[in-house]
Structures are given as structure tokens and as C-alpha cells.
Chain A
Amino acid sequence: MAAFDDDHPPRADLINDCVHCGFCLPTCPTYALWGEEMDSPRGRIHLMSQGLGGEPLSDSMVTHFDRCLGCLACVTACPSGVRYDTLIADTRQQVERRHPRPLRDRALRAAIFALFPYPRRLRLLRGPLRAYQASGLRRLVGRTGLARHAPTLAMMESLAPTLSRPVRLPERIPPRGPRRAVVGMLTGCVQSAFFPDVNAATARVLAAEGCEVLIPRTQGCCGALSVHAGRRSEARAFARALIDAFSGGDLGHRDLDHRDLDYLVVNAAGCGSSLKEYGELLADDPAYAERAAALSARVRDLSELLVELGPVAPRHPLPVTVAYHDACHLAHGQGVRAQPRALLRAIPDLELREIADPELCCGSAGVWNLLNPEPARQLGERKARDVLATGARLLVTANPGCLMQIAAAVRRLGSATGDSTTGRCSAAGDSSATGGVAIGLAHTAQVLDASIRGLPVDALG
């Protein structure tokens, strides 16, 4: 049986754009780990082409597709403009539909996808201990056979930061000063469950910069995790619901229509890149195609929007050294690299430092670290070492997955001192690598918020 059916196979014309130059290899995390062609972008494209040429979707072929983190570093690196993002998305949904996975693997995936896209279920994961004790999860674990996946579970436990009380944001936040834009705000699953402070900071920064912020409570998952895992129909369902949430009903005493929104702001890199692709995701759905495309066009990462609008709120000095980590789905997925750096540099007394090999993924990659715990650990530790080597006091990034992944790796490298509280997990670095300096972690929004409000550095990480 041929590897792919006619329902959106990886496109031959996109595959043929690849000239086999290999320039994408050094930025690919799996090639960095293993040095094997079939676990490189060039090799994966070759496997897709084999699939189109009649090779079956074998276990080994699927393994190499599965091992791809979807970090899209290869898209940035490719001088020929190969659309690997589109290729792997098409391939993944073929794999999910057509490849019978072993039972354990299926159970694990089912369990993860029964959990992650649902903020309320996620909230049950409150800190390493309570995560496992949370009755809901334990039942889920028992029922699905998740327990047999000890490494994944261990990874999940090591990742989960302890939670502060969930922050309940109002549905409408008025601008401070004259209104410059009306923006919808996505709260995200992982972000809202594990890092509610980040959402609160985002809303405050937006309001301070003159945005009226609308946060519909009906919003759920954007479908990013599903789409990156090839669960396309599940992703489409999430997308439709989200479009509805931002285009209907009475919200904070005003009728919301998506056309009223100047922007839809996202503070999680993975969500942002998937929202920007709603147009493509729902292109075949006549009822939603147009609204999806219209919404996608309004989506902005927080840093993108703030640079577009230009600052009005005064910044207070924040004397701190910051290492900025490019989240893959921001840097490679959305091409947003300069804006967060510019915003951070504009804060008086803040010193920005660059991390070596900035293009290399930290190994978080959606739920990849749960499905591939061992290589994820290696990538996380490599990144943590590079981060600690900057000697910065604070690590800043714009994706909840990266924050959890790097925090866990930093903890492993050094001895954890830290309560990894919401959005400000702090951990002591390996003293040999850092001279005993601890590093705190924060989202870009929190740093901006602290500067605008004139909070001390200690308020962060």
C-alpha cells in the first residue's frame, strides 16, 4: 500500500524545491543529536518523496517523521525556500489517519490529547506531586495505561511548575488613556493553566499601551498541539470553536464581532503560529474559510503588536541581565526575532545577552517532550547549559512550553533551590557552569509589565 492517499499528501512540487544541499542539517535538533540522514530535514523530505514514489508507510518511516520536533529551524535555514512546515503538516495528518500505531503508543497519545487542550483538566496538574496525585489525572492514567509510560510521566512531573491561584481576568479591560486599538486576547491552554500571571501581565501591558482588551471566556484551545501532531480534524474543530468565541455574543457589555477586533493578540508562540494558519487549516470548509482567513490576518504576537503600535507607557529602569531565548514557533514559525529583543533593549538598565546556537530547539516542541522524553532531556540540558553560560540573571522567552522545558533542565543541571512558582520558576544553576549564579525565568510580557509598573527586579524569577 502506498504511503499516502489523495487527501493532502505532501506535495510533490514542494518536495522538488529541495535541492539536497544540506544547509538545513546543522540547525535540526535531531541531526544535532544523532547525525543520521533520515533524522534530518533533508532525509525526511527524501522519505516523503519515497512515499510518493510508492514506498509504504513503514514503521521506520513513521518513526523518522515522529521524531521531527516541528521546530521549523530548517525552514529558516533553507536558502531554497522549501516549505517543510507544510510538508510535515500534510505528512503528519496522513500518518495519524493511515498508520496503525501500537496500542501503547495510541493510549499515550490519546491520554495526552485528552489532557492538554483542556485548561481545566490541565489545572489538575498542580506541581510535581499534586500532578500525579490529582485524582482526575490518576484516573486518566489508570484508564489509559499511561502509567506504563514511566519516562513520559516522569517528564510530565518534572515539567509541571507549581501553580499560584488561577487568575480570573475580566472579559473586557479598558485602555489606559486614549484607545489606540481593540484587541482580542488568547489565553491559551498551557499558558492559562500553568502561567496565569503571564496572561495577567499581558493584559496589563496591552491596556497600558492603550488597547481595549477583550477576553471571551468561551475561548478554548486553539488546536496548535493537535495540528502539530497531525490530528487535523481535531484541530479544525478547535479552530472553528475559537473563531466562534471571538466573533459572537455579548462581551463586557459590547457585542463582539471578529471584524471589530483590530488584532487578536497571542502571547504563546505555538498558538500564534497555528492561529496565523487558520486560513489554510480551514480552507476546505466553506462555512469557515473566509472568517478563518480574516481572523488569521489579524493575529499578532504580543511583541509584534507592541512594536507595531509603538510605546506610550513610560518604562522604568529594570537593572537586570537577560538572556532571550527564541521560541521556535516565534522565530522560525512567525519570523519574530527582532521585536522582542527591541522591546527588551528599550527598557532602561536592562542588559540583553545572546544565547549560543539560538536557532536550536530546546526540545519542548508542543508535546514532543512527553512523547520523546530521553532526547528531549538531552536537548533541554544542552540549551540550559548555553543559557547558563551567558551568565544572565533572567531567562526570557515567549512560550510556556520552553519556559517549563528549560526550567526543568536547569533544575536537573543544578540542585533545585527553587520553588518554581507560576511563571517565575527559579532554579540554581550548576555552580561550575555559572559560578553559582541562579537564573530566573520570565515571559517577555512579565518583564515589560514589571518595567511599566516600576516593580523591582526581584518581582521577576
Chain B
Amino acid sequence: MTATSMTATSTTAIGTLAARLRTVLGTDRVISDRQELRTYECDGLAQYRVVPALVVFPHTAAECAAVVKACAAAGVPFVARGSGTGLSGGALPHADGVLIVTAQMRRILELAPADERAVVEPGVINLQVTRAATPAGYYYAPDPSSQQICSIGGNVAENSGGAHCLKYGFTTNHVTGVEIVTPDGDLVRLGGRAPDAPGYDLLGAFVGSEGTLGIATEVTVRLVRLPETVRTLLAAFDTTDAAGAATSAIIGAGVVPAAIEMMDALAIEAAEAAVHCDYPAGAGAVLIVELDGPAADVEAQFVAVERLCRDNGAFEIRIAADDAERALFWKGRKSAFAAVGRISPDYIVQDGVIPRTALPDVLRRIGEIAAEHGVRIANVFHAGDGNLHPLVLFDDAADGQAARAEAASGAILDLCIEYGGSITGEHGVGVDKAKHMPRMFTADDLDTMQLVRCAFDPRGLSNPGKVFPTPRLCGEVPGRHKGAHPLQEAGVAEVF
């Protein structure tokens, strides 16, 4: 996908807007140099590229609101961007729009461990929250593999998860309040410090809205007490089937591990190449199982987990002796996506969910898909909650491989739906999966979602073109169509 060229009118509109924004932010914080703009043309999913018309760096909520207000007044679309690590093209810019980067809004405004709360600006890096809270004995639980760089604002927008979400829940379970700039440029608060606010759960609607309902300018997160004990083991199996059976056995036994992660042989190979994690040689699959909590509980359950792994065919079990060894177990897993770059020139990171019990079946089917399409597929996943991350490897330089990889990747999503799962577990829909939404939802389902969008953003200026396959016009009552809108006639939009 490439940038569409700007029309003459939009160029002047942008010029006027740029001048306006420079008075708000100063010249340094409004970028219009082509080469500089181009460094923002993509996020972590680099196959989609659009050069934004302007990039701006607000430092405060008020500045952010002023920027959005100016955009709204000019009718110019805007897109929020945190650290640009998204894997669904959510932060893909709009060619005639403004990219609002929160990376310089990175202050931790309040750290209140006793209240189990922290208040942060949206550009604060996920891991920084944990690092700030650790001395007081607390941490921020959601831990995407990208935690060293992804922003809390991006996490909120994507409702990001991580290995430990099996026990602790996703971002949505750890955010109690946000301050947002609405698409009109008003600053409003949703939720607060209390665990639950009266009235509609607008906070719940906002978390996971992928930047389509406005921009978060302040986030109140829960801090969780550091567990008394953490025990981690690495179990090696001959096959993913055996590792999958072990996973089901562990959960079936009533143990709730902090995390159960699985990697298959190809993913292990990549991780070894990247970080020399030294996993057991010859493993067809490894499981990382982590238990945390009060020492006595953890010890008892750890013994059970070890036994269940052995019962299901683990040929080697390693137990992390200290934090350093635990870090090494995790390093292999957490670097796996990017590490695949070591064994393949190009790859697609897929993200889907299936019922955990279907794991062996689905993995076999993924193997078949790989063979059918003539591509290699590495599997890394949050086994505990059935969140798959198949990595489809290909070489863009080789004829037709990219198309076959894309097809294989799509086939995996069909598989997820077939097994009653979902087309995304944590990476979001963005621009990449918008086209798959109708496979999972009926037209009525999607209309209802769009009603929410319309309530926040009737003019569709906030991150347009994401999440929904077809842009819609707001202001019409669903179902009761009264004559066609000009855009509808032109086939550009649908009315509901």
C-alpha cells in the first residue's frame, strides 16, 4: 500500500493547519520535512506505508487537545501514535492527516503504591511503570513481549496482553481511568481511581478502541503487589501435541499459572540464533510455565506442574535457579518474534485465538496449511489461553512467496473462526484485519459497534480507516434507510 497523493485543496488546508499548530506547539514540534515524515510512514507492521501530512509532538494533555481541536476545526483526520510497535497497522498515518505522537508525553505523574495506583502520561513505556513501582514492592502486570518499548497509551488502545495475562488479565483489567481528548478536542475523564464507575462503562468501550474514539492523554493503572515467590520451569517435549496435552492437564488440574507459553521447533531455532537462550537440544516444543504467589501454594502447585509435564512426555525439565536463569528462559520467548528475522528474510506475525483444548488439532491443521502453501510457519503462543502467534516465514524477493504467505496467514484466521475462536487475541484489528471482521461478525454486529464509534466521533476523523471494513456515515438510524446519501451513491460509504 502506498500513500495517495494529496489534492491541491488539502495541501493548502494542511498548510494553514501547520501554521496554526506551530503557534500551539512551536516550530520544533511540528514536522513537515518529507524525509522526516517518512520515518513515521509505518508502525511494527511495515508492509503498510502511508506518509502523514504532518507529525506533531504534544507535551501535555492541553496541547494534545488544542491539536485535536485544530484538526476538528479544519476537518483534517488525525491518528495517534505511541511507540509505533503495533502489529496491525493501527498507527498507520492518514495521507492527508496529522499524526499525533505521544512519545514525548512520558512523565509518571503519580505513583501511589499504597493505593495500588499509578497515573501516567500516555507515552510512558510499559516497563518503566514496573521499574518505577518495583522499589515499593509493586509492578504493572500486563507484559506484552514489547514491554520494553510499547507505550501505555498504545496498550490501552490495543487492550494489549502478554504472557502473564493468563492469570492477571489484559490491559482492560488494569486500567481504572483515562483522561481522553474526544475527537472534538474536549478533555474528558472516563472511569477514575475506583475499580468500577457508575453509569455506562465508557472506559471499557475506550480500552481496545484502537485510537478510533479519541486520544488517551492520561491513564490511571492498577499496580499489583510483587508476588512473594516466583517459580519458573522450562519443559522440553518431542512434539507440540505433547506440550499441548501438558498445558490442558495443568489447567485441568485447577492450577492457575501466571503464564504458560509454548514455542515450537522453528521458533526455538530463531530464538537460539538471536539470544542463545540454550533451550534443550532436539526439542519439538518447549513450555515455559511460571507460578507465582504465596510460597506455600506455589511450592505445592509447582510439584504438580512438574509431574504433569513428565506424565505428558516432557523429556527434560529445567527449573530456574535464580532471576538470571528465569530471565534467560523468558528472553528466548520474548525475543521470538523479532528473532525470526534471523532465520527468514520476511515474515508475518499472525494473532488468533482458539479454545485451548483444540490446540493439538489446530496445530496439525496449521502444519497442513504451511505444506499446502509452501511456506514455513513457526509457532509461538500463550498456550494457557489459546492465543496463537503463528509466524509465517517467506522471502519477499522470491516469486509469489509473499502472496502465498498472505494466503496461509488468512487461512489460519479462518481456522481460528472455524474452531470458535477469534481473529485477534491482542494485536488488534487495525488496518490489517479490518477486512476479516465480516468473517467473524454479522452486519448487524458491526453496525452496533459503529453506533458507538459515531457517538464519539460522528465525523470519522479519529484514526479513520481502521477496525471497520467499510467506512460508515453517522447520523442515520440503523435499518431505516431514507434515500441514498451522495457518498453512498458513489459507493464510498454506507449509511446505517
- Please say whether chains A and B are actual partners in one complex: yes
Binding site for B on A (CB under 8 A): 16-23, 25-26, 34-38, 42-43, 46-47, 50, 55, 58, 60-61, 64, 78-81
11 contacts between A and B (CB under 8 A): A22-B84, A35-B104, A36-B101, A36-B103, A37-B84, A38-B36, A38-B39, A46-B38, A47-B35, A50-B38, A55-B38
| Interface contact B146-A22, CB-CB below 8 Å | yes
In whole angstroms, how far apart are the Cα atoms of A35 and B39 in the complex? 13
Which residue on chain B has the smallest CB distance to residue A16? B345
Interface residue stretch chosen among B109-117, B200-208, B332-340:
B332-340
Residues on A with C-beta less than 8 A from B127 are 26
Q: Which of A19, A34, A60, A64 has the most CB of B within 10 A?
A: A19
Q: How large is the interface on B (under 10, 10 to 19, 20 to 34, 35 or more residues)?
A: 35 or more
Out of B35, B57, B341, which one reaches A80, CB within 8 Å? B341
Given A35-B57, A60-B33, A79-B275: A23 and B83 within 8 A (CB)? no
User: Does B24 have its Cβ within 8 Å of any Cβ on chain A?
Assistant: no
Residues 14-40 of B, flagged 1 when their CB comes within 8 A of A and 0 if not, give 000000000000000000011110111
CB distance from A427 to the nearest CB of B (A): 27
| Interface contact A23-B341, CB-CB below 8 Å | no
| Interface contact A60-B335, CB-CB below 8 Å | no
User: Does B229 have its Cβ within 8 Å of any Cβ on chain A?
Assistant: no
User: Does B307 have its Cβ within 8 Å of any Cβ on chain A?
Assistant: no
Given A22-B85, A26-B149, A81-B342: A55 and B274 within 8 A (CB)? no
CB distance from A197 to the nearest CB of B (A): 36
CB distance from A136 to the nearest CB of B (A): 39
In whole angstroms, how far apart are the Cα atoms of A310 and B150 in the complex? 43
User: Does B46 have its Cβ within 8 Å of any Cβ on chain A?
Assistant: yes
| Interface contact A35-B123, CB-CB below 8 Å | yes
Residues on A with C-beta less than 8 A from B57 are 35-36
Given A20-B44, A80-B274: A37 and B39 within 8 A (CB)? yes
CB distance from B97 to the nearest CB of A (A): 17
Across the A-B interface, give the 9 residue pairs with the lowest CB-CB distance, nearest first: A80-B341, A79-B338, A79-B335, A35-B103, A43-B39, A20-B46, A35-B104, A21-B338, A37-B39
CB distance from B37 to the nearest CB of A (A): 9
CB distance from A66 to the nearest CB of B (A): 14
In whole angstroms, how far apart are the Cα atoms of A23 and B84 in the complex? 11
User: Does B106 have its Cβ within 8 Å of any Cβ on chain A?
Assistant: yes
| Interface contact A80-B339, CB-CB below 8 Å | yes
Binding site for A on B (CB under 8 A): 33-36, 38-40, 42-44, 46, 57, 83-85, 101, 103-104, 106, 123, 125, 127, 146, 148-150, 273-275, 335, 337-339, 341-342, 345, 347
| Interface contact B341-A19, CB-CB below 8 Å | yes
Q: Number of A-B pairs whose CB atoms are under 8 Å?
A: 89
| Interface contact A21-B44, CB-CB below 8 Å | yes
In whole angstroms, how far apart are the Cα atoms of A23 and B274 in the complex? 13
| Interface contact B338-A60, CB-CB below 8 Å | no
In whole angstroms, how far apart are the Cα atoms of A21 and B127 in the complex? 16
Given A21-B338, A22-B44: A60 and B148 within 8 A (CB)? no
| Interface contact A23-B148, CB-CB below 8 Å | yes
CB distance from B428 to the nearest CB of A (A): 16
Which residue on chain A has the smallest CB distance to residue B36? A38
Residues on B with C-beta less than 8 A from A17 are 341
| Interface contact A19-B338, CB-CB below 8 Å | yes
Residues on B with C-beta less than 8 A from A22 are 44, 83-85, 146, 149-150
In whole angstroms, how far apart are the Cα atoms of A354 and B300 in the complex? 35
| Interface contact B274-A79, CB-CB below 8 Å | yes
| Interface contact A26-B345, CB-CB below 8 Å | no
| Interface contact A46-B39, CB-CB below 8 Å | yes
| Interface contact A35-B46, CB-CB below 8 Å | no
| Interface contact A60-B36, CB-CB below 8 Å | yes
Which residue on chain A has the smallest CB distance to residue B123? A35
In whole angstroms, how far apart are the Cα atoms of A42 and B39 in the complex? 8
In whole angstroms, how far apart are the Cα atoms of A66 and B273 in the complex? 32
Out of B35, B101, B106, B275, which one reaches A55, CB within 8 Å? B35
In whole angstroms, how far apart are the Cα atoms of A61 and B39 in the complex? 11
Residues on B with C-beta less than 8 A from A61 are 35
Extra pairs beyond A50-B38, A81-B341 (19, CB < 8 Å): A16-B345, A17-B341, A19-B46, A22-B83, A22-B85, A22-B146, A23-B148, A23-B338, A26-B148, A26-B149, A34-B104, A36-B104, A60-B35, A60-B36, A79-B337, A80-B339, A80-B341, A80-B342, A81-B274
CB distance from B131 to the nearest CB of A (A): 9
Out of B40, B84, B101, B125, which one reaches A26, CB within 8 Å? B125
In whole angstroms, how far apart are the Cα atoms of A36 and B335 in the complex? 24
In whole angstroms, how far apart are the Cα atoms of A60 and B28 in the complex? 13
Residues on A with C-beta less than 8 A from B337 are 21, 79
Residues on A with C-beta less than 8 A from B149 are 22-23, 25-26
In whole angstroms, how far apart are the Cα atoms of A36 and B123 in the complex? 12
CB distance from A134 to the nearest CB of B (A): 38
Q: Which of A17, A22, A25, A26 has the most CB of B within 10 A?
A: A22
Residues on B with C-beta less than 8 A from A60 are 33, 35-36
In whole angstroms, how far apart are the Cα atoms of A21 and B46 in the complex? 9
| Interface contact B123-A23, CB-CB below 8 Å | no
In whole angstroms, how far apart are the Cα atoms of A34 and B36 in the complex? 14
Residues on A with C-beta less than 8 A from B103 are 35-37
Residues on B with C-beta less than 8 A from A47 are 35, 39
Which residue on chain B has the smallest CB distance to residue A58? B35
Which residue on chain A has the smallest CB distance to residue B43? A20
In whole angstroms, how far apart are the Cα atoms of A80 and B344 in the complex? 10
CB distance from B402 to the nearest CB of A (A): 14
Residues on B with C-beta less than 8 A from A20 are 42-44, 46
CB distance from B75 to the nearest CB of A (A): 26
CB distance from B333 to the nearest CB of A (A): 11
Residues on A with C-beta less than 8 A from B274 are 79-81
CB distance from A452 to the nearest CB of B (A): 30
Residues on A with C-beta less than 8 A from B33 are 58, 60
Which residue on chain A has the smallest CB distance to residue B34? A55
In whole angstroms, how far apart are the Cα atoms of A16 and B149 in the complex? 21
CB distance from A57 to the nearest CB of B (A): 10
Residues on B with C-beta less than 8 A from A81 are 273-274, 341-342
In whole angstroms, how far apart are the Cα atoms of A78 and B338 in the complex? 8
Q: Which of B35, B38, B103 has the most CB of A within 10 A?
A: B35
| Interface contact A23-B146, CB-CB below 8 Å | yes
